[in-house]
Amino acid sequence: QRQPVAPAAAEKNAALLSEFGREMQAGLARRPRSISPKYFYDAAGSQLFDRICELPEYYPTRTELRILGECAGEIAAQVGPGAEIVEFGAGSLTKVRLLLDALEAPRRYLPIDISGEHLAAAAERLRADYPQLAVQPIAADYTMPLVLPAPLAGAGKRVGFFPGSTIGNFEPDEALAFLQLAARMLRGGGLLIGVDLVKDPGRLHAAYNDAQGVTAAFNLNLLRRANAELDANFDLEGFAHAAFYNAPKQRIEMHLVSRRDQIVSLNGERFAFEEGETIHTEYSHKFTVEGLRALAVKAGFRPGAVWTDPERLFSVHWLGA
C-alpha cells in the first residue's frame, strides 16, 4: 500500500527529486510496479554490464563482434566510401572500431550518448587512434528528435549504427518510434542494427541467469543506486533477481522479487511489499529476422542484407533509409 504524504510536502519533494527519483517513486506507486532499465547504468551498473558481456552464458556481445568481424568486407561494400557514422547510445565507443577499421575512408563519426562526460573522454581516445576521422560527440537522448550537423562536403552515406540489441530493451511502440526517428534522420543512407534472435528458451534463460550471479547483481544494483542517490532504504538481501523467457511475447523479463513482507521508504514515502511482489526492471525482446524486417518496413526503411552467425543466435541488418 502507498502511504500518502501531505500534499505540500509531496509537491516540494517531487520538485527536489531527480528524474530517477520521480520515476522510482511513480514506479513503486503503480501496479504492476516497474522502473525503466535506463536507470541500470550508473558507473557501477555500467561496469556490471561490461562484466555481463564477458560471461560465458551471455552470447550476444561476442556473437555480434564475430559477425561484424567476419562480415566486415560485405558491410563495408554496403556502406560505401566516405561515410558519416551516427551511433545511437554510443557508450565507450568500442564496437564502432571494428566498423571503422572495415570501412573505406570514413569521413566523420557522430556518437550520441546521454552521458556527456564519459562520451567526451571516449571521443578523445578515438581521435588519437583515428586521426583522419572527424569525431563529433553529441551529448543527447537519442530517443528524442534531434538535428544532426549538416553533412560534410563530399561525404558519402549517412549511416546509423545501433549495435547490441538495445532495440530489444524498448517497449514495442518505443522500438517503432525510435526506428521511425532514425529513418527520418538517416534518409538517403541506412541503419546497421544488431538484433538478438529468438532461440531455445534454455539458452536465453542461462544468458540472463548466469552462474556467477553478475546479472543478479546488475539487477539489484538498481536498489543500491536508489539507496545511494535517493533517500531510500531497500534491504538488498530482501529482494531476489528473477529473469524468465515469456515465449508468447518473445522476450526475457527481469524483475526484482520481494523475499518477504516488508516496508521500504523512499523520500519519506512508505511502500509496502508482500512476499513475492515484484518490480519489473527490464524487457529484452528477441526477434525473428522476418519480424525485425517487418518492423523496419513499418518505420520507413527498406530492409537489405542480413548477416548472422552459424548458430543463428544473433543478426546484423542493413536497413536502407
Binding site for ligand AVI (CB under 6 A): 52, 60, 164-166, 168-169, 208, 215, 282, 284
Taking the complex as a whole, the smallest distance from the CB of residue 36 to ligand AVI amounts, in Å, to 13
- In this structure, the number of other CB atoms found within 10 A of the CB of residue 267 comes to 19
Give, in order, the Cα–Cα distances in Å from 320 to each of 82, 84, 88: 17, 15, 17
**Residue 56 Cβ vs ligand AVI, minimum distance, rounded to whole Å:** 14
46: left (phi over 0), alpha (psi -120 to 50) or beta: alpha
Closer by beta carbon to ligand AVI, 25 or else 169? 169
To the nearest whole angstrom, how small is the minimum distance from the Cβ of residue 70 to ligand AVI? Answer: 21
- Rounded to a whole number of angstroms, the minimum distance from the CB of residue 132 to ligand AVI is 31
Task: Give the nearest distance from C-beta 276 to ligand AVI in angstroms.
Answer: 22
Q: Tell me the closest approach of the beta carbon of residue 39 to ligand AVI, in angstroms.
A: 13
Q: Which is nearer to ligand AVI, 252 or 264 (CB)?
A: 252
Task: CB nearer to ligand AVI: give 166 or 258.
Answer: 166
Q: How do beta strands 302-308 and 190-196 pair?
A: unpaired
210 or 269: whose CB is closer to ligand AVI?
210
Indicate the residue among 22 and 205 with the shorter CB distance to ligand AVI: 205
Phi, psi of 262 (to 5 degrees): -160, 160
CB contact set of 227 (below 8 Å; sequence gap of 6+) = 233, 234
d(CA 65, CA 164): 9
Q: Please, which residue, 22 or 62, has the CB nearer to ligand AVI? A: 62
Nearest to 292 by CA among 153, 162, 185: 162
| Residue with the shortest CB distance to ligand AVI | 284
> What count of other Cβ atoms lies within 10 Å of the Cβ of residue 251?
22
